[in-house]
Amino acid sequence: MLSVTALAAGYGGAAVFEDVSLDVEDGGLVCLLGRNGVGKSTLLNALIGLLPVRAGEVRLDGEAVTKMAAHQRIRRGMGYVPQGQAVFPQLSVRENLSVVRESSRTASRADVDEALDVFPGLAELTSRSAGLLSGGQRQQLAMAQALASRPRLLLLDEPTEGLQPSIVAEIEQAIERLHRHRGLSILLVEQFVDFALRVADRYAVLDHGSLVAAGATHEGR
């Protein structure tokens, strides 16, 4: 599904990572682990096309997408949920989802409804301003936004960061359902290592600018 070869990226004169190679198989779930500031979000930004790469290649289903803009990658089936529960606070839940639908050639009203089905609690709050949602609800909305464009591969950046434990469990269950029942391929950045290793079939560890370990989790064996 996703094939990353010898990727390098950074900011200004500073390289953040070099020679990163990793694959996410069709229907696979790979968790990306690493300390704060090691470059996990930078890698996801490079994969979705928000940050130009300095070397290497990104392929989606065999097609090179390395030079494509983010919206082109999204149209081809990549979804991205950035770190930090990013939504439009002044817009309602429904309006936040409409923004995706109107800016996407592919997402229909049915796609938006299906994305909301993943989060029943959120579906009851469609007229509430996103700025008034709890952190967990905002995260669910951010995930629903990404799902509305019907991705085959989802890049998830720390979806449980800063959330209370009961909401963390809900987000984790949603990720498991998307993976196991809908067959979505997922690259998950996650600080809760226990959860990450339980749900993932493979893991990769980023440290000092390169992948220092990778392999099958218990689940993936």
Ligand X SMILES: Nc1ncnc2c1ncn2[C@@H]1O[C@H](COP(=O)(O)OP(=O)(O)OP(=O)(O)O)[C@@H](O)[C@H]1O
Report what 136 binds from Mg ion, ligand X, none; CB cut-off 5-8 Å by kind: none
* Tokens at 48, concatenated: 């979705």
* Residues, the chain: 221
For residue 103, the minimal CB distance to Mg ion (Å) is: 25
Residue recorded with tokens 């704060």: 36
Strand order across the beta sheet in which 78-81 lies: 78-81, 153-157, 185-189, 29-33, 202-207, 210-216
- Contact pattern for ligand X over residues 3 through 32, marking x by CB under 6 A: --------x----x----------------
One residue of 1, 31, 40, 159 binding ligand X per CB under 6 A: 40
The answer for residues whose C-beta is within 8 angstroms of residue 72's C-beta and 6 or more apart is 49, 65
Check residue 36 for interaction with ligand X (CB under 6 A): yes
Please check whether residue 138 is in contact with residue 175, taking contact to mean a CB–CB distance below 8 angstroms: no
Report what 42 binds from Mg ion, ligand X, none; CB cut-off 5-8 Å by kind: ligand X
For residue 11, the minimal CB distance to ligand X (Å) is: 3
SS (H, E, C) 64-103: ECCCCCHHHHHHCCEEEECCCCCCCCCCEHHHHHHHHHHH
For residue 16, the minimal CB distance to ligand X (Å) is: 5
For residue 84, the minimal CB distance to ligand X (Å) is: 9
Identify which range of 14-22, 40-48, 72-80, 128-136 contacts Mg ion by CB under 5 A. 40-48
**Residue ranges in contact with ligand X by CB under 6 A:** 11, 16, 34, 36-42, 83
**Residue ranges in contact with Mg ion by CB under 5 A:** 40-41, 83
